Structure 1
Amino acid sequence: MEDISFFRKGKTPRRPPPKKPPNNQRDPVGVYCRVRPLGVEDKECCIEVISSSTIQLHAPEGFKINRNGEYKETQYSFKKVFGVSISQIELFEHVAKPLVDDLIHGKNGLLFTYGVTGSGKTFTMTGSPGLGGLLPRSLDMIFNSIGPYQAKRYVFKTDDKNGMEVQSEVDALLERQRRENNPSVPKTTSSRQKIDPEIADMIKPEEACKADGVDEDSSYSIFISYIEIYNNYIYDLLEDNQEDAIKPKPPQSKILREDQNHNMYVAGCMEVEVKSAEEAFQVFWRGQKKRKVANTCLNRESSRSHSVLIIKLAQAPLDADGDNILQDKNQVAVSQLCLVDLAGSERTGRTGAEGTRIREAGNINQSLLNLRTCIEILRENQICGTNRMVPYRDSKVTHLFKNYFDGEGKVRMVVCVNPKADDYEETLLVMRFAEMTQEVEVARPVDRPICGFAPGRRHRNQAFQEELHLVHSLPPLPSCELTDPHDDVTLPRLIEALQNRHGIRQMMIDEYSKAADMMKSTLQELDSNFISKDNFIHEQNGQLEEKDKIIQSNKAEIERLEKRTKMQEHKIDILQKTTKIYEDDKRSLKQELETRGQRLQREVSDKKRMEQRMHGVVTDTQLKWEKECDRRVNAMQVEMQNKLWVKDEKLKQLKAIVTENKSHGRPDPPPRQTQQKQTSREERPAMKRSASPSPLPTSTPVRPLHRRSRSAGGEKWVDHKPSSSVDLGTVLQPVIPNAIQVSAPSERALSKCDRYVLTHQEVASDGEIKTKLIKGDVIKTRGGGQAVQFTDIETLKQEVTTVPSRKRKSSEGKPANGNQTDGSWTDVETRCSVAMEMRAGSNMGPGYEHHGITKRRKP
């Protein structure tokens, strides 16, 4: 079952890890290689040991490496390579002995075996009778080193949070009695019980090892726990389950937790206290029998789980007498050594696994793959300087040992390989992973000093007890039993013994008296020394009294100076407050001055801006009135010219009629006013520009350029109004009948029309919008397209003026303001003629129906 407590809502956030002292010293992961001897049925060998640190892999026959189909030989280097002739003791001395030595000195360690199924991992870790592996030799070395200094059973007691407590000897005795009398409590294995014959001869006596530098002034205790990781679940192999023959109860999986020092541990795992190497190995063997193994095509007893043996060493200093352990939990140092036997990676095609075995193999390969992934990310972070998160939590194996890779202890790995040709491909992958693992560096663990008393107190206490025993020991009395009245030996022997005892007693009395005299003389000397010291003390007291008087006078002077200092400080405070007030006033006046200066500058700038604006308004008004005067003058000139032209035309027509009547003798026809009204638009600009009247044309002038037929209903216009044009919202607007309105000119629109007008808007100097109507003729080019020839520009301007109040005209018929030319018509004839002219020009193009429009034509 997974630990889901971390995902609970409202959980208190995790405390930050304690700050550890910076440790820049790092050591690479120690990787060793051990080659298994070739089996009897195996003929081809693919591994060759070149040196003590290098091996070479030969591809077997029929196995192609590169694209060319050639064989390839690869060499791999390790910290040390152990060939087929290496012994178990040599392997232990190079690999596990340094870790055991660190364990005794308070440092953690991790050792695991890695390799393919059937490569000899379990033999390397456990061994066989007479050929003990790394595990039994480590236990033997530990107890050979701390055997004389072990505490009594149950003095050290484990808690449920990966910690260790210290009990008194009385509490430990009560705990032992309670466990012996309570049948429900599992009893620990005693060293006096019969040892299993399978583990009796694991280690030869001449191969025993012992650590140096063991602290003799501390007490030690060893605790063993043994677990397995099966299908990514953790099971306790030392847990005593009440087996039911009818309905057996399956074992319960354990969960991983983190203690207050942020170290991972298995919650609820049983920890057994052991007092000898044989007892410890017997506990291990009891759990080993529960480990899950299965028979496959590659291995008769293939491990289907990862096994982890945790050896925990508790160490605490003795008191000042060297008899009892300090009852201080903070003085207890706990170190542990983890020995891991990983399950071998395998391919289901080779093992012939089915059903449950396939699932087991998949979980084993997945956990090993996650171990490789963690190693790769650690290597990448250290080499490339990245900070990727290492996925320790993806597997129970990596999650349990993540503290070791973070710098909690040394890490060692023994890569076991089988040289047979069938395992070449898997061995190649194992070699690559081992080579990559060597590049990962782990922080070197910091020494953990134990704060005890002065060293050597246990030895001194023992020597004192031996000396005291020698001093107070008297020779024993001989047998004083008399069975024969003629016995002349027993009484003399007894008398002699009593005399000897009396002599020894007298000698002891003399020694005691001498010691008393010596002690008395020593005390007298001390008394004399005390007397001399008393005299010296009296002299020193006199000097001290004189010094006290000097000190008192100095104190009085200091008090006087302190009062004076306080008075000066008070004056300084008053001056500082006054200075602060003056500074505040100065600051406020300065701010007010700056504000007024800014206001004055703002007023000056506003005045200059107003002058510029008024100057611009005056200039615009002047230009406006100048233009208005010019427009009015031009209007009057045009009006007068039109009147003169009309009169001249009338006279010419009358003259022509009179002349024609005289020549033909016909009556006078009415004047040709209709022809005057239908005068073409092309003649009007020329008429208005001529200073003198011209004869009336008798026919419509022919345009030199191409003209389209007007039988469809008159001229067609292309009204080009851009989309950005602004609607002025005036009452009178240019109206173009029979026009095609477009926002952008196109060849199709131009081909249907013969006139073109563009509406252009711009802002005048007085802020009003000025509209220009740019007109032109649409002609056909020689290439078959259309071109526009601009002929005229009309300017439309909207003016907002105030309507003057209507005043009554004077009796003479003049306006009240005396202006006779202000756009008023004096008689009905003039008004009618002008209206007739404007009606006659209604078909001359856009802009003629808007009264009050200034009209400007350009050729």
Structure 2
Amino acid sequence: VYCRIRPIGNPDDEICVQVLSETTVQLNPTEAATIRNGQVKELQYTFQHVFDEYTSQKAIFDYVALPTVEDLLHGKNGLLFTYGITSSGKTFTMTGSPKDQGILPRCLDVLFNSIDDYQVKKYVFKPDRMNSFEVQTEVDAMLERQKREILPGVGTPRIPSTPSTPKPPNFGEQTRLRDMGKVEDIEEDNRYGVFVSYVEIYNNYVFDLLEELQYDPITGYRAPQSKILRKDNSDNMYVNSCVEVEIKSPEEAFEVMYKGQKRRKVAHTALNAESSRSHSVFTIRLVQAPLDDRGEEVIQDPERICISQLSLVDLAGSERCKRTDNMGDRLKEAGSINQSLMVLRTCLETLRENQKTNANKMVPYRDSKLTHLFKTYFDGDGKVRMIVCVNPRSQEYEETIHVMKFAEMTQEVMITRAQQVRFNDNGLTPGRGKMNQQRIEAGNVNEPQDVPVLPSLVYSLGPTFPPMELLHASDDKTLRCLEEFLGIRYNRRQTLNVDFNKKGNVR
């Protein structure tokens, strides 16, 4: 459990939180609390690490989130969530801005920096309906890629869009500063695929933020349908029928992320202009499988697949309706948010009591969709990390006390660690992927290049055909390259015919 202090917007504001050391903060009572409750003594709380208001986003990521990315690459699961009252900086810590990225974008950057040279082609890993994956050959993957991405666009007439007033670019369209970090010790004889999903828990219902909504010309877009939670063959909880997108670069992931963020429930309250009204869960699933004995293709064996996932959760902030002046839908949303956070606290308290007294009380995971979804993590399958975000303003003193007490209790819960995942116990030669790459490069060096100008011609039509796979429906570049190649090949054939006829006449 870690603590982050939010910078105050107005230097004249009175603060109630003081950082004493890298691991300790002190909560100083305000005059109002002293009059109301007789609270006169300072309270101190200890964390794994305390980040003051001057700590950068990069430092927080390196200390808290980078180890979870390393675990993800090593085949282990992880859960990281931000907790705190409304307007305490949870969403900024998780998402950040284009110039000062938060945890989620940096996780994607570091992940792709690490596996950039070891990714499989798209659709080699094919998700099934049971939260697992199948392995296809590269030929089957190419056929599916053409079926899904190229053929639907061929022959489809383009509908001109209605001119609209230019809008300022949103978060996802602005130039961003990419994190150049990288995890070095990855398994080079494995090939990797990355899949992401994005859901929100709103009023204790689970909605898929990436689901394409059906459009009715009369009533417009239909309302999204809530999803149900299921358990797979490995006893892991997952969202059934959730859209899972395969991505090949951080940019593709950000397009998915921003598409989901536009549909996330936010609203204006008295304490926050853009208050999150739901818990958002962005899940990164990394699929990896070993290469065959020649180091050419992924082994077609589902038993060799290793699936690990990292869930990044931005919890909605707890709030007092008396202070936010909520009414109607806002009041219902606040009640649902507080209820789900209370169930989270109850589950952790029950886990702590079971561990301290060796009891076997039932943990009420099913009382909330939030705790039910993360039941697997709290039962010990993966590493769980929490960042407690604190607004140091004196007006937030009473809510901050409850947050600190929750964080203090959470640290006493011991979650068992999963065993180390090993990839080399498959009887195959280590380094086969690199050796295959060296063979390919050596073959390219030995291949005949352009025909030199010599007294006698070499009877060859030249190199093999270039790649002829269309990347998309309007892929003119591939067609131009193929047209130029065929022209050169035709001219070469004519030259060889003339030379052959001359030699025939001489004989």
Scaled by the length of structure 2, the TM-score of the pair is 0.83
| Matching residue's letter, 2:249 | S
- In structure 2, the partner of 1:96 is 65
- Matches of 1:40 and 1:237, distance apart in 2: 35
How far does residue 470 in structure 1 lie from its aligned partner after superposition?
A: 3.6
**Residues 1:458 and 2:433 aligned together:** yes
Residues 101-150 of structure 1, C-alpha deviations (whole Å, 9 max, x = no match): 00011000000000000000000000011100000000000000011111
How far does residue 383 in structure 1 lie from its aligned partner after superposition?
A: 1.1
User: What SS does the aligned partner of 1:289 have?
Assistant: helix
| Matching residue's letter, 2:437 | Q
- Matches of 2:153 and 2:256, distance apart in 1: 19
| Matching residue's letter, 2:432 | R
How far does residue 445 in structure 1 lie from its aligned partner after superposition?
A: 1.0
Residues 458-507 of structure 1, C-alpha deviations (whole Å, 9 max, x = no match): 111222233344445478414xxxxxxxxxxxxxxx45x999xxxxxxxx
**Residues 1:224 and 2:196 aligned together:** yes
- In structure 1, the partner of 2:218 is 246
Superposition pairs of residues 193-592 of structure 1, within 5 angstroms: 198-199=171-172, 203-205=176-178, 207-244=179-216, 246-247=218-219, 248-450=221-423, 451-452=425-426, 453-473=428-448, 476-478=451-453, 494=454
| Matching residue's letter, 1:246 | I
The 8 Å contact of residues 53 and 77 in structure 1, kept in 2 or not, is answered as yes
User: What SS does the aligned partner of 1:222 have?
Assistant: strand
How far does residue 434 in structure 1 lie from its aligned partner after superposition?
A: 0.2
User: What SS does the aligned partner of 1:448 have?
Assistant: coil
Residues 407-433 of structure 1, C-alpha deviations (whole Å, 9 max, x = no match): 110000000000001111000000000
| Matching residue's letter, 2:204 | N
| Matching residue's letter, 2:274 | E
Residues 499-534 of structure 1, C-alpha deviations (whole Å, 9 max, x = no match): 9xxxxxxxxxxxxxxxxxxxxxxxxxxxxxxxxxxx
Superposition pairs of residues 814-825 of structure 1, within 5 angstroms: none
Query: Pick from 15, 26, 29: which aligns with 1:56?
Result: 26
How far does residue 386 in structure 1 lie from its aligned partner after superposition?
A: 1.3
- In structure 2, the partner of 1:632 is none
Percent identical = 56
CA RMSD of aligned residues (A): 2.0
- In structure 1, the partner of 2:9 is 39
**Residues 1:115 and 2:87 aligned together:** no
User: What SS does the aligned partner of 1:308 have?
Assistant: strand
Change (3 A) 1:70 1:430: closer
The 8 Å contact of residues 126 and 133 in structure 2, kept in 1 or not, is answered as yes
Superposition pairs of residues 398-797 of structure 1, within 5 angstroms: 398-450=371-423, 451-452=425-426, 453-473=428-448, 476-478=451-453, 494=454
The 8 Å contact of residues 128 and 202 in structure 1, kept in 2 or not, is answered as no
User: What SS does the aligned partner of 2:348 have?
Assistant: helix
- Matches of 1:199 and 1:258, distance apart in 2: 33
| Matching residue's letter, 1:53 | T
The 8 Å contact of residues 202 and 278 in structure 2, kept in 1 or not, is answered as yes
**Residues 1:72 and 2:41 aligned together:** yes
| Matching residue's letter, 1:455 | P
User: What SS does the aligned partner of 1:253 have?
Assistant: coil
Structure 1 runs, 4 residues or longer, greater than 4 Å off: 200-203, 471-476
- In structure 2, the partner of 1:166 is 135
The 8 Å contact of residues 379 and 440 in structure 1, kept in 2 or not, is answered as yes
Residues 702-744 of structure 1, C-alpha deviations (whole Å, 9 max, x = no match): xxxxxxxxxxxxxxxxxxxxxxxxxxxxxxxxxxxxxxxxxxx
**Residues 1:153 and 2:138 aligned together:** no
| Matching residue's letter, 2:300 | Q
The 8 Å contact of residues 293 and 432 in structure 2, kept in 1 or not, is answered as yes
How far does residue 278 in structure 1 lie from its aligned partner after superposition?
A: 1.1
Change (3 A) 1:391 1:45: same
The 8 Å contact of residues 86 and 272 in structure 2, kept in 1 or not, is answered as yes
- Matches of 1:261 and 1:81, distance apart in 2: 36
- Matches of 1:216 and 1:458, distance apart in 2: 7
Change (3 A) 1:70 1:409: closer
- In structure 2, the partner of 1:127 is 96
| Matching residue's letter, 2:28 | H
Bigger shift: 464-473 or 90-99?
464-473
User: What SS does the aligned partner of 1:145 have?
Assistant: helix
Bigger shift: 462-471 or 196-205?
196-205
How far does residue 281 in structure 1 lie from its aligned partner after superposition?
A: 1.3
**Unpaired runs of at least 5, structure 2:** 155-168, 459-507
- Matches of 1:86 and 1:393, distance apart in 2: 37
| Matching residue's letter, 1:423 | E
The 8 Å contact of residues 33 and 398 in structure 2, kept in 1 or not, is answered as no
Larger Rg: 1
Aligned length: 440
- Matches of 2:22 and 2:105, distance apart in 1: 26
| Matching residue's letter, 2:77 | N
Residues 191-242 of structure 1, C-alpha deviations (whole Å, 9 max, x = no match): xxxxx7733667535x411012111111100001000000000000000012
Higher relative contact order structure (alpha carbons within 8 Å, sequence separation ≥ 6): 2
The 8 Å contact of residues 37 and 84 in structure 1, kept in 2 or not, is answered as yes
- In structure 2, the partner of 1:144 is 113
How far does residue 333 in structure 1 lie from its aligned partner after superposition?
A: 0.6
User: What SS does the aligned partner of 1:64 have?
Assistant: helix
How far does residue 172 in structure 1 lie from its aligned partner after superposition?
A: 1.1
- Matches of 1:77 and 1:388, distance apart in 2: 28
- Matches of 1:272 and 1:161, distance apart in 2: 16
Scaled by the length of structure 1, the TM-score of the pair is 0.50
| Matching residue's letter, 2:142 | L
- Matches of 2:408 and 2:289, distance apart in 1: 40
The 8 Å contact of residues 258 and 265 in structure 1, kept in 2 or not, is answered as yes
